[in-house]
Amino acid sequence: LICYSRYTGEVVEANEAQVFAWQARCKGIDVHALAEPTKLEALKKEFNKEKASTDNEQRKALLSKYGGAEYLESTPKELLFAQTEQYVEYSRKGNVLKGAERAPVKSRYEEDVYPMNHTSIFGSYWKDGKWGYRCCHSFVKNSYCLKDEGIKAEQSNDASTSSLKEEASAAPDVKKDDDRSVTKDEKNDEDKDPASSSNSESSSSSESSSESEDSEKEREMEKERERSKYFPESRTDGGTKFAFA
């Protein structure tokens, strides 16, 4: 058993010959890489020659039918990085001062495409954290362009929203003024009618006294009920009745 540490040199040729022998044996040609190496080498050379001839014939047929042979001839390597007469002068920042400018690098996105009747690209207008079209001030990407009508609609919408905000901000101030006026009126009424205030105080005191009397009566009734549980009650027939809790 021979082990090769490097897959270079004659190792590659030997492996290719072995693979060729296997393929030939599959197609019915009796050949062995180790028993008949000379026969295998002759068959391999003949096969490569026929393959090259068929490739050339096929290439010529395609060129004669479709043309384009001039594009297959590449320029020599000596002229790939050679000097030319094209003069270009650059500044320190890399800008072109004289000569032909370089072609701009095109991105993989479509440029200068204006769909849906727009005259500007999406992203040319920005407002309140949103991007839109400058031609109609629309923030929807797939919307149809309304030109000046869209701008007018946006302006009217902004005016209405600003008026609503002003009304909302003014409403709390009105409520505060009303509350202040009510408190002032109450104070004035109290200052004008001291008798009415005294009458109200007396009525409130009488109500509190009546409530206290009612509460005392309820307490007495509860005490009597508790006593009736533990003390006997008199009967009409002269006997006594005992109540047990």
Residue 12 and residue 64 share a domain: yes
- Tally of domains in the chain: 2
Residue 220 domain flag? no
DSSP three-state, residue 10: helix
**Residue 200: per-residue pLDDT:** 54
Digit-coded pLDDT (tens) for 140-166: 988 899 888 989 988 888 888 888 888
The pTM (predicted TM-score) of the whole model is 0.30
72 falls in which pLDDT band (50, 70, 90)?
A: confident
Question: Is residue 214 packed enough to be buried (19+ CB in 10 Å), middle (13-18) or exposed (0-12)?
Answer: exposed
Residue 22 has pLDDT above 60, yes or no: yes
Q: What domain range includes position 157?
A: 113-161
Rounded to whole angstroms, how far apart are CA atoms 159 and 191?
A: 48
Digit-coded pLDDT (tens) for 186-235: 555 555 454 454 555 555 566 666 777 777 888 888 877 777 766 555 44
Question: Is residue 106 packed enough to be buried (19+ CB in 10 Å), middle (13-18) or exposed (0-12)?
Answer: exposed
Query: Quick one: tokens of 154?
Result: 């946006």
Q: Which residue has the tokens 């079209």?
A: 133
Residue 119 and residue 66 share a domain: no
Residue 63 domain flag? yes
Residue 103 domain flag? no
Rounded to whole angstroms, how far apart are CA atoms 132 and 121?
A: 8
Q: Which DSSP category does 47 fall into?
A: H
Residue 227 domain flag? no
**Residue 242: per-residue pLDDT:** 46
Residue 64 and residue 120 share a domain: no
Domain end (from 126, 142, 161): 161
Residue 55 domain flag? yes
Q: Terminus-to-terminus CA distance in the chain, angstroms? A: 115
Alpha helices in the chain, H assignment, sequence order: 10-26, 37-66, 148-192, 194-230
